[in-house]
Amino acid sequence: MIRFIISLFFFGCILLQAQKPQINQDRLEKRIFELAKFGLQENGETERVAFSDADVAAQQWVVQSLTNLGLEVHIDFAGNIIGKRQGKKPSLKPISFGSHIDRVPNGGNYDGCVGSMAALEVLEVLNENKITTRHPLEIIIFSNEEGGVMGSRAIAGHLGKDALKVVNSTGFTMGEGIMRLGGDTTRIAEVARKKDEIAAFLELHIEQGGTLEKENIDIGIVEGIVGLKWWDVEFTGFSNHAGTTPMNARQDALLAAAKFIVAVNEITNSFDGAQVGTVGKIKAEPGAPNVIPGKVVTSLEIRDLSSDIIEKVYQAIKTKGEEIAKDSDVQIEFRPLDTTADPAMMTSEIQDAIGAAAKKLGLSTKRMPSGAGHDAQDMALIAPTGMIFVPSNGGISHSPKEFTSPEDMANGANVLLQTILALDKKL
Ligand code: HGY
Ligand code: MN
Ligand code: MN
């Protein structure tokens, strides 16, 4: 008799698990590869920087996919894709979720794409299981995340006019890009949501680091997202003949920039903590081997969970940069770019909901910071927000070598789905 009761119990559990709506792993993986076709190059890699033709085409494909899933879809004035699924109680605030589909130059197929395609998969599973949530659901695919979390900054109400002048690697300004994506720069202010207009916002994303893989953990529960600041740093020397100008009579802008780049690394490392400082871009003019460079512009990026640390590291770098410029008889100018993202702590209740959903699915979890910036850090300014991480193979990201297994993607999407259903009941 006991054996019968025990087997009945286990049969019940299996039945319950089977009844739980499940992500279709193959369909999710298929969508990732479908999306990767937008911007596919001859070498088999994909280029889809924000505002490019590939980005516009991918946006239209996502709009069509959402429409096919029965959502009411529009492009907001900042170029974000907004999809709405009715709930049983239209008066309730929406539960929103999503990510981005634009990429860095020479990027990978998973950054932003996993969270965006998982959001579509969640909607399809709800349709298949004929589930209507109490809350309306809203999917947001943010525009130009990589060039300064543009779309989410507009929704959070802090995308200023200066930001619209920032040029990304397509050569378009943010303002031109917004128009290309079907937005309207004259009406950006109307995109802003009031605080707490959204019941909760969730973003699934690849970790882009190696912690989960190293510690063999299925799901990361993000506690906080680093803040980041960008500057252009301009060195102005004097272009001159490389052959006839003695070594002690030069105003070599590139030599000064080279010393500056080393100094950025040394100064950033000199502080305790996990701050990071990077020079990722450099342009030397006139750029001929037989001309001493008279003008160089580099990027400068500093990130940390604390804005104070970012400021302290910046001030130390600036002081050293001015010293180097003086010794090199070169001018230096630091130009802050309006692409700042402030550090953002994730909402503990949302973290707990993610943890509970993962536990129910039998998945291991770890609470952790995000060294990468995300749209969620803007959404955290206006809504209770949480982020779900899945492992990145080798911790590689912002590279064509980026990879997350179909199983890990499905784990993340199931946690997203179950967290949405749990919050739908609770909120
Ligand atoms: O740069 C970042 O941290 C993010 O991938 N946009
Ligand atoms: Mn991303
Ligand atoms: Mn990225």
Give pLDDT tens digits for 166-186. Answer: 998 889 999 999 999 999 999
Q: Find the 55 Cα to ligand 2 centroid distance in Å.
A: 15
CA atoms within 13 A on the CB side of 66: 26
Atom of ligand 1 nearest to the CA of 398: 5
Q: Residue 277 and residue 353: Cα distance in Å, rounded?
A: 34
The answer, as to whether pTM is greater than 0.85, is: yes
Atom of ligand 1 nearest to the CA of 112: 5
Atom of ligand 1 nearest to the CA of 149: 6
CA-based diameter of the chain, in Å?
Answer: 100
Q: Find the 213 Cα to ligand 1 centroid distance in Å.
A: 19
Pick the CATH number of 227-336 from 3.40.50.1820, 3.40.50.2000, 3.30.70.360, 3.40.718.10: 3.30.70.360
Residues 6 or more apart in contact with residue 66 via CB below 8 angstroms: 73, 81, 83, 120, 123, 139
Mutate to test the pocket of ligand 1, among 145, 275, 281, 389 (most ligand atoms within 8 A of CB): 145
Match 């010393």 to its residue by tokens.
259
Of 347, 372, 86, 27, the closest CA to residue 202 belongs to 347
373 lines ligand 1 (CB under 6 A): yes
Percent of the chain residues past pLDDT 90, beyond the cut: 93
Q: Find the 357 Cα to ligand 1 centroid distance in Å.
A: 26
Question: Is 22-225+343-426's fold the same as 227-336's?
Answer: no
What is the pLDDT, as a whole number, of residue 116? 98
Domain boundaries of the chain, sorted by first residue: 22-225+343-426, 227-336
47 lines ligand 1 (CB under 6 A): no
Q: Which ligand has an atom closest to residue 100 CA?
A: 2
Q: Which ligand has an atom closest to residue 149 CA?
A: 1
Q: Residue 268 and residue 274: Cα distance in Å, rounded?
A: 9
Q: Residue 79 and residue 185: Cα distance in Å, rounded?
A: 9
206 lines ligand 1 (CB under 6 A): no
Task: List the helix and strand counts (H, then E) for the chain.
Answer: 12, 16
146 lines ligand 1 (CB under 6 A): yes
Task: Give the residue whose CA is nearest to atom 6 of ligand 1.
Answer: 146
What is the pLDDT, as a whole number, of residue 5? 72
**What is the mean pLDDT of the segment spanning 345-364?**
98
> How does the average pLDDT of the chain come out, rounded?
96
Q: Which ligand has an atom closest to residue 141 CA?
A: 2
**What is the mean pLDDT of the segment spanning 295-313?**
97
Q: At residue 260, what are phi and psi to the nearest 5 degrees?
A: -65, -40
Homologous superfamily, domain 22-225+343-426: Zn peptidases (3.40.630.10)
Confidence of residue 289 (pLDDT cuts 50, 70, 90): very high
Q: Which ligand has an atom closest to residue 146 CA?
A: 1
What is the pLDDT, as a whole number, of residue 10? 66
